[in-house]
Structure 1
């Protein structure tokens, strides 16, 4: 089982952005020193959800120069917000900079506030995502003497030559759909890609039995992957990166200390969410941008059971055994959840140290 670090920190004011970028770099370098498998980053805009997530491809490029042995991933790229040409170009460049160690999570996005900033209506996001992914595949396939690729959807253009640079390997970088929709699970399986296995089912994003959802979605994807006729090596690679994510992972020497500290972390996290509520309401002022699913309060049992992994190393190991038994290949650990104060960073580094010393060896 692999273990990856998710850089998902927020700031609460503009004057905190500078220090957050410094702190996230140091946290990522610590993850590299401790032997974690990958660094993942979100793709978000405007709302304080990790300021560097406004261009996480740029931040990944910077970190890749400092961590040449690290894999890098995105959880997840909001495909409707990226012009297909720029989407393909930037993936190809980062594919080279990481020497093929790139995992591009893809989804249609989650926040109307972000959509309207790019002129996209939330209700159209799924359709535009499909348009963009179809266009991206055509761009990746295009040779210089082929007929032009015509982009006629929400994003438009006419590509006469080819995308430069070309992909690092014989195929483009691995994409990672979220295996919540049947079409997304099928896309991953048919292409031999890994996928994100969710523990939630909209419209209620949360619950006290996440394992049943993970089992269901993994089983569906796994059956399709095996039926697709890939080589054993392709199947093994896809499964080794098939990912279950935790928004908040926190370890302490004892369960009691971990519970006390995670309550503190989630209190600050919820304060950040509440601050953003007024802006979300403005974004949803018309029917074209109404969300159909809701996420509960972070300090509820439903939220914590779905989105959190916390406790002593022994408790965390025991919790993860069930996911190992299902076949999950990669655990994505949100170690910097919430506003990244100095105290929060200390908690995050504490979690990395305990994971690396006690938990990771138990699964290697």
Structure 2
């Protein structure tokens, strides 16, 4: 089972932005030295949310030059916010720069504030996402002398006469849908791509039985993948990157220390979320931009059980054992959750070192089993 790092830190003011960028660069380097396989980056905009996330492809390219052995993932790219031509161009060049070591998570977005900043209504996000992905497929398939790819969705328009340059390093860059809807799971399975496996079922975004949800979504995706008729190597690669995400991972020498420090982290995180929620309420001023789901308070047991992984190295390893036995190939660890103060960075580095020294080695020799 692989372990990947999710750089999901927040900045609370403009004067903090530069320090956050430099600290995340150093933190990613620490993860690379401690056995992590990939760095995943979010895609978020405005409100001081995550400064590196306003152009996570650019930040990934910067890190890739420094960490050439690492894979780079995106959790997740909000496809309605990206012009489909630029979406394909940027994926292709990053695919070249990393020798094919990218995994592009795709989704329709989560916040109305981000949508209205790009001129997209929140209630139309899923439709725009599907339109953009269909256009991207046509652009990846287009050769120089093929007829022009023309599109006009009402949100994006264009006419591509030649081809997208550069071509991707891979025959087709790996996208990673969220396997919550049958159509998304099938898209991943039929293309031989990995998928994100949810630990909850909307409209409830939380709960105390995450493994139950992970098992259901993973089994559906895996069965579709096996039924698609891919070569064994394709199936094994897809399963090895199939990802279960923890928004907040925190390790300490004892369970008691880990829980106390986790609650400190989550209090600061919840304060940041409530500030962001105030701006989203402004965006939700009309029916086209109203959310239908609400995330539980981060200090609630529902949120902690679904989104947090914490404890001593022994406790964390035992918690992860059923996920490894199920066949989850990649654990995505949010090690910088919340505002990135000096103390928060110290705790994040503590977590990475303990994972690298005492948890990751226990799973390093396990391989994803491909059922006959």
Displacement of 1:97 in angstroms is 0.6
1:157 correspondence with 2:161: no
What is residue 214 of structure 1 aligned with on the other side? Answer: 214
Residues of 2 paired with 1:241 and 1:137: CA distance? 22
1:70 correspondence with 2:77: no
- Within 5 Å, which residues of 2 pair with 1:74-93? 74-93=74-93
Residues of 2 paired with 1:250 and 1:35: CA distance? 17
Residues of 1 paired with 2:269 and 2:48: CA distance? 11
The 8 Å contact of residues 8 and 49 in structure 1, kept in 2 or not, is answered as: no
Residues of 1 paired with 2:228 and 2:29: CA distance? 38
Residues of 2 paired with 1:277 and 1:195: CA distance? 28
What is residue 11 of structure 1 aligned with on the other side? Answer: 11
* Displaced runs of 4 or more, over 6 A: none
Q: Mind listing any 5+ residue stretches in structure 1 that lack a counterpart? A: none
1:31-58 deviations in whole A, cap 9, x for unaligned? 1122210000000000322201000000
What is residue 108 of structure 2 aligned with on the other side? Answer: 108
Count of matched residue pairs: 363
The 8 Å contact of residues 92 and 172 in structure 1, kept in 2 or not, is answered as: no
Residues of 2 paired with 1:333 and 1:298: CA distance? 16
What is residue 43 of structure 2 aligned with on the other side? Answer: 43
Say which SS state the counterpart of residue 77 (structure 1) adopts: strand
What is residue 369 of structure 2 aligned with on the other side? Answer: none
Say which SS state the counterpart of residue 73 (structure 2) adopts: strand
Displacement of 1:250 in angstroms is 0.2
Residues of 1 paired with 2:352 and 2:47: CA distance? 26
Q: Mind listing any 5+ residue stretches in structure 2 that lack a counterpart? A: 365-372
Say which SS state the counterpart of residue 36 (structure 2) adopts: coil
Say which SS state the counterpart of residue 295 (structure 1) adopts: coil
What is residue 199 of structure 1 aligned with on the other side? Answer: 199
Residues of 2 paired with 1:50 and 1:291: CA distance? 21
Displacement of 1:151 in angstroms is 1.2
Residues of 2 paired with 1:31 and 1:326: CA distance? 25
What is residue 167 of structure 1 aligned with on the other side? Answer: 168
Residues of 1 paired with 2:34 and 2:49: CA distance? 26
1:168-225 deviations in whole A, cap 9, x for unaligned? 02x2210000001111000000000000001011111000000000000000000100
Residues of 1 paired with 2:297 and 2:99: CA distance? 41
Residues of 1 paired with 2:28 and 2:301: CA distance? 30
Residues of 2 paired with 1:277 and 1:241: CA distance? 32
Say which SS state the counterpart of residue 175 (structure 1) adopts: strand
Residues of 1 paired with 2:264 and 2:141: CA distance? 49
**Scaled by the length of structure 1, what TM-score is found?**
0.99
What is residue 321 of structure 1 aligned with on the other side? Answer: 321
What is residue 184 of structure 1 aligned with on the other side? Answer: 184
What is residue 370 of structure 2 aligned with on the other side? Answer: none
What is residue 272 of structure 1 aligned with on the other side? Answer: 272
